[in-house]
Structure 1
Amino acid sequence: MVTQQFVAAPARAALFLVMTVNEGSEEVVRDVFADLSSITRSVSFRVPGDQLNCVLGLGAGLWDRMFDLPRPRGLHPFVPLDGPRHSAPSTPGDLLLHVRAHHMDVCFELSRQVMDRLRGHAVVVDETHGFKYFDERDLLGFVDGTENPEGDAAPAAVLIADEDPDYAGGSYVIVQKYRHDLEAWGALPVEEQERAIGRSKLEDVEMPDAVKPINSHVHLNTVVDADGVQRQILRDNMPFGELGTAEFGTYFIGYAADPGVIEQMLRNMFLGSPPGNTDRILDFSTAHTGTLFFTPALDFLDDVPGPRAGASADDAPADTAPVAAAPGHSAPSDAKATDLGIGGLRAATH
């Protein structure tokens, strides 16, 4: 089994494209799926040292239109969250392209090649160009990445295995675009910024539990299962910004074998844990998008299943997930070994 390159070498540039697919264009999209590996190889061959990598995901609605197959167990529309002070919206998205490399020109070229095939058939609803910022920091000034799983723990956290064998080697990804109020954030003393994050700003050292605020970003993003084992996800966040519009932020992208782990983190942040104890960072960072995708194994894309055979709208699975969206598909620690084709990990979470 060959997986998409969810776990990848550190990138200095990334391009994120979220698209909706026009009704009637499903077969064009199917052809692009089948050719994506070839397109990526063609661009990468010209710049072999740039470590170009493209991951493709598809949303629940597009899955129902394209395939006469049951949905992957964790695939459903992103569940919006409306908390006492902050909200996480659910926004449209049928396709995700997550393109990474050492330089933006390579990301742009691959994305352009794909979009040339999809033009007139898909609409870009969000395009974000991300960049590495100094020593893996976000625009808030903190190192963004430290707790990503490493070694064998990375595929165990990311890859679907025996819990959903028909889709083994795939993963799930949630994306959100956060915009920062840098002026308000910069007015905070460094000590208050550190309490909001739960880490020291210069040294990137996590605060001891005894002094770490319970509304800190680190505390609320620590998810432990019933056996006391911390659940992990793989983040590949990137800063983005436009000087003319003064729009600055972080593009959150998290991969997991079980999207319920990410959903639990988001409930902690936006609804509070305990209820009302929301993430302090949300006072300065606002989520403007939210979409969940299934990212299949390369075997699935290279030999993409055929179209739905005369299915009616009544045959499609329910289009909403339970609001609780409780985790239920944990990745076992003995996940099957697969060909990851990786050169390292990107550290990209607080």
Structure 2
Amino acid sequence: MSHPQSGIIPDHAKSGIFIEADFQASALDNIKKACAASLDELSKLQQQFPEADVALTIGFGDKAWRLFNHPEEGTDLKPFRPLGNGLAPATQHDLLIHIQSMRHDVSFALALNLLALFGDDIQVLNETHGFRWIEERGIEGFVDGTENPTGENIQKVGVIANDKVDAGGTYILIQKYLHDLKKWNKVNLQQQEACVGRSKQDNIEFDKAVRLPDSHLGRVNLKENGKTLEIVRRSLPFGTASGEHGLLFCAYCHCLHNIETQLLSMFGETDGKTDLLLTHLSKAISGAYYFAPSIERLKAL
């Protein structure tokens, strides 16, 4: 039986570190060794600080994953492509390190240890530190992650099933959104709620009959053959009060289809309608897909 990497299942983390990097094919052997050693570093911190619930996922972009020569695994994986005539840029990289925990100091310690393991064999292109905000809301004021699966459904939605050759693996989307809060705060409460499709204070979902088709929920709450296309969100707010801030969107799923279908809807690729949050609040500045193999495969790349 294969097991998923630990960063997929835990919910409500207070801290998240997202690192994206590139590496050369010539460094492949060193990358394999660093991945296996990373699990040992994780285990040490888990034993030292059990209350932190520190967890880790290491994933690979399409080009990088093919280098490991496991063609029967991660078959859905593809490079991220730009969407919506430039509204969603592509910034695909080779390696993703996602750390989450209840303590940012422990997350940071693990990040330092892992970057020391990978050393000069990787080139870090993006490192973003996320934090859990008040009442698990985004900094725009709405509760985030309400649609997330819970309990056993987290693994069913987020992890490839045991009857598959790549069981325990998962597909990941990473997107960084900048929020223009000055612009958003000029939008009155009723309009903000209409953009999202939920009430702001008490987080009640609007009935589909009155919900705007280009509201956020109207764009991402999708069904196929009567079944909701679920994903597992591990997103966190990020940034500084005086500078750039927004949402680091991180989604896990057992297939890439659910993630991509939501994106195509948000960015107007399905019917020409774009998410109202893209008009009034958010701007995507990155986008990448990754495949994270099971723990067993990561140890034996």
TM-score category by the smaller chain?
A: over 0.9
Match of 1:41 among 26, 40, 43: 43
Partner of 1:109: 109
Partner of 2:3: 2
Partner of 2:275: 279
Amino acid of the structure 2 residue aligned with 1:257: H
For residues 200-237 of structure 1, give each alpha carbon's deviation from its aligned partner in whole angstroms, at most 9, with x where no partner exists.
00000001112111110011101211x21112110011
Measured in 1, the distance between the counterparts of 2:277 and 2:91 equals 21
- 1:18 alignment partner, SS class: strand
For residues 70-97 of structure 1, give each alpha carbon's deviation from its aligned partner in whole angstroms, at most 9, with x where no partner exists.
45221111122134xx621111311111
Partner of 2:258: 261
For residues 41-63 of structure 1, give each alpha carbon's deviation from its aligned partner in whole angstroms, at most 9, with x where no partner exists.
11222211110001111111111
- 1:119 alignment partner, SS class: helix
Q: How does 1:1-350 map to 2 (within 5 A)?
A: 1-5=2-6, 6-67=8-69, 69-83=71-85, 87-161=87-161, 165-225=164-224, 227-244=225-242, 246-271=243-268, 273=270, 275-283=271-279, 284-304=281-301
Measured in 2, the distance between the counterparts of 1:248 and 1:9 equals 22
Partner of 1:319: none
Measured in 1, the distance between the counterparts of 2:112 and 2:150 equals 32
Is contact 1:9-1:51 (8 Å) kept?
no
- Is there any run of 5+ residues in structure 1 with no aligned partner, and where? 305-350
Amino acid of the structure 1 residue aligned with 2:297: F
- Using the TM superposition, name which of 248-257 and 73-82 deviates more: 73-82
Is contact 1:198-1:219 (8 Å) kept?
yes
Identity %: 31
- 1:184 alignment partner, SS class: helix
Change (3 A) 1:104 1:35: same
Amino acid of the structure 2 residue aligned with 1:10: H
- 2:200 alignment partner, SS class: coil
Is contact 1:60-1:71 (8 Å) kept?
no
Higher helix share: 2
- 2:120 alignment partner, SS class: coil
- 1:25 alignment partner, SS class: helix
How many residues align? The count is 298
Amino acid of the structure 1 residue aligned with 2:209: A
Amino acid of the structure 1 residue aligned with 2:3: V
Measured in 2, the distance between the counterparts of 1:243 and 1:151 equals 34
Is contact 1:272-1:279 (8 Å) kept?
no
Measured in 2, the distance between the counterparts of 1:269 and 1:9 equals 24
Measured in 2, the distance between the counterparts of 1:9 and 1:196 equals 26
Measured in 1, the distance between the counterparts of 2:46 and 2:274 equals 43
- 1:87 alignment partner, SS class: coil
- Is there any run of 5+ residues in structure 2 with no aligned partner, and where? none
Measured in 2, the distance between the counterparts of 1:156 and 1:47 equals 28
Amino acid of the structure 2 residue aligned with 1:90: A
Measured in 1, the distance between the counterparts of 2:258 and 2:288 equals 15
For residues 123-155 of structure 1, give each alpha carbon's deviation from its aligned partner in whole angstroms, at most 9, with x where no partner exists.
111111000101000011000011111223222
- 2:45 alignment partner, SS class: helix
